Amino acid sequence: MANRFMQVAIDQAKIAAEKGEVPVGAAIFKNGILIAESHNEMIERKNPCAHAELLAIERAFEKTGDYRLTDCDMYVTLEPCSMCAGAIDLARIKRVYFGAYDAQKGVLGGKIDISKELNFKAEIYGGISEKECSEIIKNFFEKIVDK
């Protein structure tokens, strides 16, 4: 089931890549039902904070009418950065499933894991569909280097 839910985030990452955005996608499910999905829109919005996770959280708030997402799971193609991890914690998301580990900016289980030291509430599961998620990122940056 996790891979099926991750596929929604992967599809969002592919949309981001087509737009020239760093290909990260996120999806939020409440009791197994999709309530929000998004991808990076930093270039489109001219906003460095327009990460897939933050946009998905905002859409989930709009959908549920609540600022707490306690019964929700997030699927994201790349390990969240510190900004997104903070928002995930404040939103009280129950579980986070991420695909590729991010050795540079990820903070939820890869090189750095702030979840244990900050009393992070969400359960964290990394490496879901890791190969496919990593390939999307790798292919995107290879195309940029080749230009």
| Residues classed as catalytic | 53
DSSP for 6-53, please give it: HHHHHHHHHHHHHTTS---EEEEEETTEEEEEEE--HHHHT-TT--HH
Q: Is 63 exposed, middle or buried (0-12, 13-18, 19+ CB in 10 A)?
A: middle
Q: Residue holding tokens 């790798």?
A: 138
